[in-house]
């Protein structure tokens, strides 16, 4: 079983900035501690959630993508990327 390092803290899903864009969202995730490395920040800046969600794509909450499915909140994507980095390197 793997555990996240102590330096990773859980971020709150309180960010809601539909018109601010990816850079503002990534900066928020850095401030809340969800993003803890430059590699994760860079990866998350490369993907615009507006391609996958029509409504409120930059809010840090799950978003509907149609067909009764959702895309996870951005802070969960950040945690998953950190986990991948920890396990692979």
Q: In whole angstroms, what is the distance from residue 31 CA to residue 50 CA?
A: 22
**pTM of the entire predicted model:** 0.74
| Helical segments of the chain, H only | 22-32, 38-45, 74-88
Distance of CA 41 to the CA centre of its chain: 9
35-10-31-78 Cα dihedral, nearest 10 degrees: 20
The number of beta carbons lying within 10 Å of the beta carbon of residue 8 is 17
The rounded distance, in Å, linking the Cα atoms of 85 and 43 is: 12
pLDDT tens for the 89 residues of the chain, in order:
344 444 445 545 555 554 589 999 999 999 989 998 999 999 999 999 888 888 888 889 998 888 888 889 999 999 999 899 888 87
Give me the active site residues, please.
72
CB 57 within 8 A of CB 17: no
Task: Give residue for tokens 């309180």.
Answer: 14
């Amino acid at each position: 079983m793997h555990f996240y390092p102590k330096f990773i803290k859980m971020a709150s899903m309180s960010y809601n900035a539909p018109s601010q864009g990816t850079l503002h969202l990534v900066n928020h995730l850095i401030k809340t501690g969800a993003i803890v490395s430059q590699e994760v920040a860079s990866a998350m800046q490369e993907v615009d959630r507006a391609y996958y969600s029509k409504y409120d794509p930059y809010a840090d909450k799950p978003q509907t993508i149609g067909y009764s499915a959702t895309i996870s909140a951005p802070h969960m994507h950040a945690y998953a990327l950190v986990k991948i980095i920890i396990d692979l390197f």
